Amino acid sequence: MLGAQRFDPTLGARVAAEGIRGKFATITAGWQERESEDADLVAHLGGHVVKLELHARAEQVFHDDPGLAGGHRARQDTLRAMQDFYRLRLERALDAERAVREAPGPEAVREEARLDCIQTLRDLDAWHLEQCARVRADFDARYRPFERLAVRRQQAILTRLIEGCEAVAIAGGHIAVLTNRLLMFDLATLIGERTVFAWSGGAMALGERIVLFHERAPQRDGTCEVLDHGLGMVPGVVVFPAPEDRLRLDRPERVGLKAARFEPAQCLAFPANSSVVWRDGRLQEAQGVHALKVDGTCGLPT
């Protein structure tokens, strides 16, 4: 997992450090219609790339299978509506936590009430994730996407493309689109034991849950909200890319709230030039990454 690559890329150096010399399968589906505009990425990987073109392949699937396309649109409409209602409830729960935290009174009593507010946030997040999983399971049961010819045809092509690759690179972009395309073609299975390099939205998608955030939004004080389950390839981590642009790490109450809300998962903020290496499900190396702590500080990941 790497920090953002747009302005200060470190991908090439990290690839060299890991000793990867073979071909890369590249995933830029989060860029949507611009997924082929990848000259910089290809250059950083020395030109040894196989483009998987997941966004274009998904569009081909929808063209070839209108029934599946309609079901997918309906599912996404439902998920968006659920996100809207979850966000309304979440904003009220966050307001309650803030009001309790700032209210006068005995510290012990206030802290007990604040912890209960945090538990309310955790319960709401868990409920939302359960509802997302239910909607996806209902879609899979009704449409059986992996049994449909249009999907199987593209999966067969992807299997052949990935077979000759030593590693996989997953870029960022629109996180919902990226995650949906990764799930549509079961990329976690196709990737297998290959080394994966991921950054921005690509790193977010690898965790067990995806959290949207923007605490420096110009229009309002941004809310931190759970979007959906991720691929679960890196367990126990919530990824926050580009914290220098999107997080308020100078606000201890916000840092501590996120850490408490999502524990036992670690909240890891990835500024430019940062990276972590996971092997066999365990953190092996970390450089420049900020782990958010319950006491409102930032420290080293564990």
pLDDT in tens, 219-229: 555 689 999 99
Query: 298 and 249 in contact (C-beta within 8 Å)?
Result: yes
Q: Express each pLDDT in 183-240 by its tens digit.
A: 999 999 999 999 999 999 999 999 999 999 988 765 555 689 999 999 999 989 999 9
Mean pLDDT of 47-61: 96
- CA neighbor of 236 nearest in space, from 191, 302, 299, 168: 302
Q: Is 7 exposed, middle or buried (0-12, 13-18, 19+ CB in 10 A)?
A: exposed
DSSP alpha helices (H): ranges in 103-186? 107-143, 149-163, 175-184
Report the pLDDT value the prediction gives residue 89, as an integer from 0 to 100.
97
The rounded distance, in Å, linking the Cα atoms of 213 and 33 is 24
Higher pLDDT, residue 242 or 216: 242
Extended beta strands in the chain, E state:
24-27, 49-51, 167-170, 195-198, 209-212, 225-229, 237-241, 266-270, 275-279, 282-287, 290-292, 298-299
In the structure, what pLDDT confidence band is assigned to residue 104 with cuts at 50, 70 and 90?
very high
CA gyration radius for the chain? 20
Partnered with residue 268 across adjacent β-strands are 239, 291
Report the pLDDT value the prediction gives residue 9, as an integer from 0 to 100.
87
In the structure, what pLDDT confidence band is assigned to residue 282 with cuts at 50, 70 and 90?
confident
- How do 266-270 and 24-27 pair as beta strands? unpaired
**Whether the predicted pLDDT of 44 surpasses 90:** no
Mean pLDDT of 59-85: 98
Mean pLDDT of 106-132: 97
